[in-house]
């Protein structure tokens, strides 16, 4: 129940996992089956809940599991190898600003083979997120898979620096996972500070306002409201089966949370904007960068926010300062479980 304790527990789980995640990254075919530590048994950190699609990955990691200390798994994306699967990034280095084919595969440790059977989630077998360590560059990509399990996608990254690649997928018959690997982008490197906290993001003539709180270890509602030229957008288009996709990355280590909205297009109650509501639990206090993908007039856009998760109470939670109202009736239908 207390945050200090929970952070300690996470640290312990991480230490345990790092202790076992040795030797990956080269000779991938040789990897022996994963040790089954507590951290490997549950993949809630990377698992997308299927029922209703309204809860984010990592929910359990920060929430329900908090009392059972040994079962706490780390958030997704921190490990290159988990649950018996390893992300083999075949293109670990790129040049800045140069379009390159990024290639990778997911290797199953027990067989040494590249995985070629996946469950589709949100219309895709695999979602690939690429983010710079300083969280100023973000891409959500959908690579294509060759029959042998090798994935590829063109990518062009504007700036040099350290990046993290996240593969978010569910192997057929397995648990949902998010594996992460480092990507180095060469060129003149100029590190940026994390962008300051904001509750309004402008993108392509749209303004997106963030309300609600991101609270450590406690599910909270985030409400995003999309307007264009000051008018609410009421005809958002479904994108990958939802009116919005939200990825949160923790500043400092890029722990990954993929959050989905409550309600789905076509369920009879979820409206196509202007509000899209999400339930999210931060795995710890700290700063997070939120990336909201939404689709309107045929184009997908990304609104970006920096929020701070702190405290455990609803008042002290992540600030969405200046946006404490949540009285709109339109959000309630979008979030029912």
Interface contacts to Cu ion, rule CB under 5 A:
127
Residue 240 burial (C-beta neighbours within 10 Å; 0-12, 13-18, 19+): middle
- Residue 39 or 165 with smaller CB distance to Cu ion: 165
Residues 6+ apart with CB under 8 A from 8: none
Minimum CB distance to Cu ion, residue 170 (Å): 13
Minimum CB distance to Cu ion, residue 326 (Å): 27
Return the half-sphere exposure (C-beta side, CA atoms, 13 A cut-off) of residue 205. 8
CA–CA separation, 125 vs 109, rounded Å? 20
Q: What is the DSSP letter of 28?
A: G
- Residue 178 or 225 with smaller CB distance to Cu ion: 178
- Residue 42 or 260 with smaller CB distance to Cu ion: 260
Residue that is written with structure tokens 């983010």 in the block: 131
- Residue 226 or 246 with smaller CB distance to Cu ion: 246
Minimum CB distance to Cu ion, residue 49 (Å): 16
Residue nearest to Cu ion (CB): 127
Coil/strand/helix, residue 149: coil
- 38 in the Ramachandran plot: left (φ > 0), alpha (ψ -120 to 50) or beta? alpha
- Residue 126 or 233 with smaller CB distance to Cu ion: 126
- Residue 142 or 323 with smaller CB distance to Cu ion: 142
- Give the helix ranges, DSSP H, for the chain: 3-20, 38-41, 59-62
Minimum CB distance to Cu ion, residue 292 (Å): 13
- Residue 49 or 200 with smaller CB distance to Cu ion: 49
Minimum CB distance to Cu ion, residue 273 (Å): 20
- Residue 303 or 318 with smaller CB distance to Cu ion: 303
Contact 63, 219 (CB under 8 A): yes
Contact 176, 46 (CB under 8 A): yes
CA–CA separation, 284 vs 189, rounded Å? 30
Q: Which structure tokens are listed for 190?
A: 């100029």
Q: What is the DSSP letter of 117?
A: -
Minimum CB distance to Cu ion, residue 82 (Å): 19
Q: What is the DSSP letter of 252?
A: T
Minimum CB distance to Cu ion, residue 130 (Å): 12
**Backbone torsions φ then ψ of 262, nearest 5 degrees:** -70, 135
Strand-pair partners of 202 = 207
Minimum CB distance to Cu ion, residue 123 (Å): 8
Q: Which structure tokens are listed for 229?
A: 């030229």
């Amino acid at each position: 129940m207390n945050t200090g304790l929970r952070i300690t527990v996470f640290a312990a789980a991480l230490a345990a996992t790092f202790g076992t995640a040795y030797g990956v990254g080269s000779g991938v075919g040789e990897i022996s089956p994963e040790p089954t530590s507590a951290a490997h048994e549950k993949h809630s950190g990377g698992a997308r809940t299927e029922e209703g699609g309204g809860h984010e990955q990592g929910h359990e990691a920060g929430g329900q599991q908090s009392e059972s200390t040994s079962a706490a798994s780390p958030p997704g994306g921190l490990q290159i190898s988990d649950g018996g699967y390893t992300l083999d990034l075949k293109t670990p280095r790129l040049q800045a600003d140069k379009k390159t084919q990024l290639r990778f595969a997911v290797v199953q440790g027990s067989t040494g083979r590249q995985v070629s059977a996946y469950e589709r989630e949100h219309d895709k077998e695999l979602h690939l997120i690429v983010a710079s360590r300083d969280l100023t560059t973000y891409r959500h990509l959908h690579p294509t898979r060759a029959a042998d399990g090798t994935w590829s996608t063109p990518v062009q990254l504007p700036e040099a620096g350290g990046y993290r690649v996240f593969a978010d997928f569910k192997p057929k018959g397995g648990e949902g996972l998010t594996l992460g690997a480092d990507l180095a982008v060469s060129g003149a490197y100029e590190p940026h500070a994390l962008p300051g906290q904001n509750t309004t993001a402008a993108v392509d003539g749209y303004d997106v306002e963030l309300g609600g709180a991101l609270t450590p270890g406690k599910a909270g509602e985030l409400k995003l409201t999309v307007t264009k030229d000051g008018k609410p957008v009421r005809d958002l288009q479904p994108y990958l089966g939802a009116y919005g996709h939200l990825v949160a990355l923790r500043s400092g280590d890029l722990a990954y949370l993929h959050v989905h909205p409550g309600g789905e297009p076509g369920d009879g109650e979820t409206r196509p904007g202007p509000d899209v509501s999400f339930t999210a639990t931060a795995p710890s206090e700290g700063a997070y960068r939120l990336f909201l993908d939404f689709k309107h007039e045929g184009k997908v856009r990304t609104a970006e926010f920096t929020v701070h998760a702190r405290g455990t109470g609803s008042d002290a939670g992540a600030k969405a300062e200046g946006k404490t109202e949540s009285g709109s009736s339109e959000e309630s239908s979008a979030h029912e479980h």
